[in-house]
Chain A
């Protein structure tokens, strides 16, 4: 995965690591955290050789890694999750007590600006809140080195601000931080120095003051990406999807909107506003108690089967659980939605499957070792490409896509965006949930902003701006009062 990397960390700095997906960022930090063994080379922390130390030793020496996807215990409560790896006697004199732990956890959560109860089971929390719990589990220890692996991927702008304030506060207290990020403006905002990786090799190390976004992108991908998109002509091919007063208790409250042919409708809002649930409800995955989803020919969608038959596709946010069969090959994942194209009657035709798979792999530039490689082994960006590519051949009329570039590198993101814009031009309608403000504004013809399950507003044309979306999403009034 990595070749001959020399990585040096100065005490007290915030050091960002950037690179395309598959560049080896996660592997690098996993080696530092002791989760992945080294074949050759050395890891030295505070002038002691830590190359072969076990996870526990490394954690006890003050190193913590916060994962991309929070790794928590869904059945346990917040407090239990945070406390589970404590020692019974952490200090010589003080024994562990639940009440002290509760007080400490509550204080740490307050510091992060979290309002949920320490006694709620973790499975009842949103991904963003779960990440906060993961963070608190690490903060609890005497921390010297904090590694955060794409912490902002699923956070809303407010939550990112909150996180950065926390990171800076920790940094001021002497904690060294390694920050892995995909959003370069965030990387430039938070870090002191930036290491750029490409294909498992070190490109260079830059200090923040001597670089900018364009240069970073160039160094990462070796090609220029045109961030500002071509002119967006709004598709006016008539309404293809009409959602009327849709209700799914607890998540979606009385939502109505229309989507035109060839239009990309962005859905913005804070994490937990019910955006993913809205897509699921439209697709028939989630139980609804009211409202209708109507297609242009007047047919109604109530079940997943009807949705698929009507050429509606859903690419979910949680690729690992809903979008892909991780333990099957890339080719099988690509073919599974297209079996009707490749099979003769009920028999699979492996040759046709290989051809079709190869075509899709090429089109999306999925980086792989071989087509029968397991999807599990791909990086996040490439997994997302597979999860998108498998719908490509099905002549999808309406694509419901949830966080298309969450945890995806700049290069893949570009290709995914290109695909979405291209498909829309060719008449596909897209309903896209995104927390990435730039993506939302760049891609969408119109933006529907949700708040607490309701439609807070729909922005068109010149109304669209980052600020307008944020205002609607957070319920900000003109006086600037939050929530």
Chain B
């Protein structure tokens, strides 16, 4: 569709994502010049792995935010899925890899289903519902694990290989990340389901009067983000090989929501793209790693991250507003010229 749309739209999108891209390049240059170690292969790998995990969860979160909802529980969901999978693997060392992945996906999906039901049929605003489940799912991690962590020697090699082996020059972890982003991109731009997701975020009342199944779509996006957080749990396990009940996925919602918003998704719903989110994830990943590598103290790091996120969003909003104004004007001028 994009190819015959008004040229303004594609130009607009290109420019929008270009802005984030420039910001990332700037960060790379600054960090690289301050600390040459930043560009070493192992450090770049570390960045890519954490970006990959962010992207998987961020892809799902994009859809949730597009529907005017938010999922604060993604970190706990990821932790819960990872812990359930880790415990199965510890008890059954010969459990097949595909089976382990499925277990994590189902665990995440169940968490998402609970959120979806609370928001749709329970009529609880998602920010409250998922704030509740953020705590509940974290509690569940402690309860199922008895506060015992999964050690590296309990994690099957097949799982660890997902982060270290590379079938086509990039690791399985990144392949999963890229596929998630592409999948969400495809759904949201090419399918009717995707358009319905955007429609209920764009005008909920209108969606009801057009007979769209509001509750079903809401549940579906929450299940999707849950399943993707489950996949994130697998990748987390692959990357760190340790699942500590208190640490796994803690605070992930902050990074994920920041990445989605930096990526240009409207926090009030209706618009946003998976590619934008992918760039947002890269920005967060580079920022977080870079600040550590150049030796910013952890106390300052939190402030700096917050400040840079605000700066990125502020600049981006400004540019977007200007472009949108110009774009609307262009359409009007075309019309008045007719």
Contact = CB atoms under 8 A, between A and B. Distances in A.
Contacts of B1: 79, 98, 102, 119
A72 B199 CA distance: 9
Interface string A108-136: 00000001110111011000000000000
Contacts, number: 92
B172 to A, nearest CB: 32
Contact of B328 (A81, A88, A124): A124
Interface in B295-338: 327-329, 331-333, 335-336, 338
A117 B6 contact: yes
Given A75-B202, A121-B9, A249-B329, 20 more contacts: A59-B210, A65-B209, A71-B206, A72-B206, A73-B202, A74-B202, A75-B198, A75-B270, A76-B195, A76-B199, A80-B199, A84-B192, A84-B199, A98-B190, A102-B1, A119-B1, A119-B5, A124-B327, A250-B333, A272-B335
Nearest to B328: A124
A426 to B, nearest CB: 38
Given A71-B210, A75-B198, A249-B329, A120 B336 contact: no
A86 B194 CA distance: 12
A354 to B, nearest CB: 33
Given A75-B198, A75-B270, A124-B331, A84 B212 contact: yes
B327 to A, nearest CB: 8
B338 A115 contact: yes
30 contacts: A35-B209, A55-B208, A56-B213, A65-B209, A73-B199, A73-B270, A74-B202, A75-B201, A76-B195, A76-B198, A77-B5, A79-B1, A80-B199, A81-B199, A84-B192, A84-B210, A84-B212, A85-B212, A96-B192, A117-B5, A119-B5, A119-B6, A120-B6, A120-B331, A124-B327, A137-B210, A249-B329, A250-B329, A250-B332, A251-B332
Interface string B90-119: 000000000000000000000000000000
B16 interface: no
B196 interface: yes
Contacts of A102: 1
| Size category, B interface | 35 or more
A483 interface: yes
A235 B327 CA distance: 43
Contacts of A81: 199
A116 B335 contact: yes
Contacts of B213: 56
Interface in A44-102: 54-56, 59, 65, 67, 71-77, 79-81, 83-86, 88, 96, 98, 102
B35 interface: no
A152 interface: no
Which interface residue of A54, A137, A251 has the most chain B CB atoms within 10 A? A251
Contacts of A72: 203, 206
A270 B328 CA distance: 19
A452 B336 contact: yes
Interface string B201-222: 1110111111111000000000
Contact of A453 (B207, B210, B211, B336): B336
Interface residues of A, number: 41
A37 to B, nearest CB: 14
B209 A67 contact: yes
Interface in B161-209: 190, 192, 195-196, 198-199, 201-203, 205-209
A84 B332 contact: no
A218 to B, nearest CB: 35
B271 interface: yes
Contacts of A88: 192
B331 A59 contact: no
A74 B203 contact: yes
Contacts of B196: 84-85
B221 to A, nearest CB: 16
Contacts of A73: 198-199, 202-203, 206-207, 270
A249 B328 CA distance: 11
Nearest to B271: A75
Interface string A25-54: 000000000010000000000000000001
B4 interface: yes
